[in-house]
Amino acid sequence: MSPFPVHPSGLRWPTREWPEAEPDPDVDRALLATAVDRLLAQPPELGLTLAVLAVHRGRIVAEGYGTDTGPDTTLVSWSVAKSVTHALVGLLVGESRLDLDLPAPVPAWRDDARAAITLRHLLAMTPGLRFVEDYVDAGVSHCIDMLFGAGQADVAGYASALPLDHPPGTWWNYSSGTTNIVSRIAGDAVGGGEAGMRSYLAERLFGPLGMVSAAPRFDAAGTFVGSSFLYATARDFARFGYLYLRNGTWEDRPLLPRGWAEYARVPETSVPDTEDFGYGAHWWLWRDEPGMFGAHGYEGQYTLVVPSRDLVVVRLGKTPAELRPALAAVLRSVVQAFPRVEPGS
């Protein structure tokens, strides 16, 4: 797997503002411009792009926005928030407040087969719990019911009450309910309800990164809805991606535990081949680019981390599911415009 490149010596970190530059001479500028221009032209086959930017070697080298959108516009994450939840868990594991391999601390599971579920199972989407991740058919979707129906006041309580359909660790099922259970576990570890988690995220994650726009949403039970609801600017989503590009370090100091960024991109072997992407620990894996991983969200939200090219790409917008393959192809063109990192560089 491609190693994580280091932050360029002498370049300021983007905590307060992003360094900006023209693409380096070894970048395929024509390919990059064509891909970005195509996104911003808003062709019907790609849906609506509200923001796109590329960070190469620590500097923003391409950036553009849709109508009524700009660098200061906060946009919804949808499931990009799941990868932020991965970082949140990492912080708590690093503080020895959570353990990946102990039974998940969910009181409702103590006396039945769900007691075998661990936090590692939850992060890999293999707890074995029943959950239908559907965004259209409210009649069958647990996701819609959880976020907008019967479960919206207590998203983790809704998801954790669902039965076990498979032994933990044997069956992969992408589930927003699973992430919200993780969010509740993290919230209990932090303590203080919504106020406690808001403070923790600000002090331990968003503040150190300079993600001043980041605005998490909570349910009535005080749980961060880590499956879906974080608002931030494209530049702040890029800061989050840059944390993982730099192997969990920031300002040349460890922020996430050692190995946590690598853990995000370790493939879960039970993901079926029919999936367009592989899956790690709350991050998607792009199989055609070694070591590349992404935070993906509904309607085409992407924060892509490409260690092999020292690159972060962010795209935010509104693209229906049936158009996502075409959108992914254009994002691949953006990635391919940048050179691979030379061994030892």
Residue-wise pLDDT tens digits, 56-86: 999 999 999 999 999 999 999 999 999 999 9
pLDDT confidence band for 343 (50 / 70 / 90):
low
Asked if residue 3 has pLDDT above 60, the reply is yes
> How is domain 81-190 classified at the CATH fold level?
Methane Monooxygenase Hydroxylase; Chain G, domain 1 (1.20.58)
pLDDT confidence band for 5 (50 / 70 / 90):
very high
CATH class of domain segment(s) 29-73+233-336? alpha beta
Residue-wise pLDDT tens digits, 211-266: 999 999 999 999 999 999 999 999 999 999 999 999 999 999 999 999 999 999 99
CA distances from 280 to 30, 185, 232, 270, 337 (A): 33, 20, 24, 11, 25
Map out the domains of the chain as residue ranges. Answer: 29-73+233-336, 81-190
d(CA 45, CA 27): 27
312 phi and psi, to 5 degrees?
A: -125, 135
Mean pLDDT of the chain: 96
Q: For 218, which DSSP code? A: B
Taking residues 139-158, report their average pLDDT. Answer: 93
Reduce the DSSP state of residue 287 to 3 states and report it.
coil
Contacts of 136 (CB under 8 A, 6+ apart): none
The reply to whether 81-190 shares the fold of 29-73+233-336 is no
Tell me if 8 sits within 8 A of 57, measured CB to CB.
Answer: yes
Q: What is the pTM of this model?
A: 0.96
Taking residues 105-129, report their average pLDDT. Answer: 97
The pLDDT, as a whole number, for residue 283 is 98
Asked if residue 136 has pLDDT above 80, the reply is no
Asked if residue 345 has pLDDT above 80, the reply is no
Nearest in space to 64 (alpha carbons), one of 338, 325, 336, 334: 334
